[in-house]
């Protein structure tokens, strides 16, 4: 099974209480990564994202290229400081290919936990708009099969 972990595209600076959306560069990053996913033959049932605007906008841009059967869905547990262990357990139990659009530090820690068995493992980080493809043939055995960092990161 394949799972894709993606960091949202570059977000605008926060202005007052407004939640920032993507910058033009962030939109380009999402588009560049979506095209890379298509080139790699990525197929997902759904694109999950946190409730934050920058993640939602990234997910929508990527889904417009991937055309997942179930579209995009807000998923609890994808915010920056949510539980690493709960997201890792969800990914282990998923049973279908999916893409998760989320944030740092969560993505980095979850990738480390799944691949190295250690949430503190150095996975190389996630630039804005970057995606990592994780593949598993058996429970608890994940590996990075490829990653893409958009040109504008």
The one-character DSSP state at 52 is S
Q: Which CATH architecture best describes the domain 2-8+21-148? A: 3-Layer(aba) Sandwich (3.40)
- pTM for the predicted model, two decimal places: 0.95
Q: What is the pLDDT of residue 121?
A: 85
Q: What is the pLDDT of residue 16?
A: 75
Q: What is the pLDDT of residue 125?
A: 86
Q: What is the pLDDT of residue 153?
A: 60
Rounded Cα–Cα distance for residues 101 and 74 (Å): 10
Rounded Cα–Cα distance for residues 142 and 17 (Å): 39
Domain locations in the chain as residue ranges: 2-8+21-148
What does the block give as tokens for 144?
């990075």
The answer to whether 109 and 120 are in contact (CB under 8 A) is: yes
Q: Which residues of the chain have pLDDT under 50?
A: none
The one-character DSSP state at 11 is B
């Amino acid at each position: 099974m394949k799972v894709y972990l993606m960091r949202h595209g570059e977000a605008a600076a926060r202005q007052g209480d407004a939640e920032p959306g993507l910058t033009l560069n962030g939109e380009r990053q999402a588009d560049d990564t979506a095209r890379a996913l298509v080139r790699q033959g990525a197929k997902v049932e759904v694109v999950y994202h946190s409730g934050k605007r920058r993640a939602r906008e990234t997910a929508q841009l990527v889904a417009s290229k991937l055309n997942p059967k179930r579209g995009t869905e807000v998923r609890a547990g994808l915010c920056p400081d949510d539980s690493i262990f709960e997201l890792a357990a969800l990914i282990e139990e998923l049973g279908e290919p999916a893409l998760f659009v989320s944030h740092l530090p969560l993505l980095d820690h979850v990738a480390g936990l799944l691949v190295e068995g250690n949430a503190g493992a150095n996975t190389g980080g996630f630039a804005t708009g970057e995606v990592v493809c994780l593949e598993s043939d058996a429970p608890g055995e994940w590996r990075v099969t490829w990653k893409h960092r958009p040109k504008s990161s």
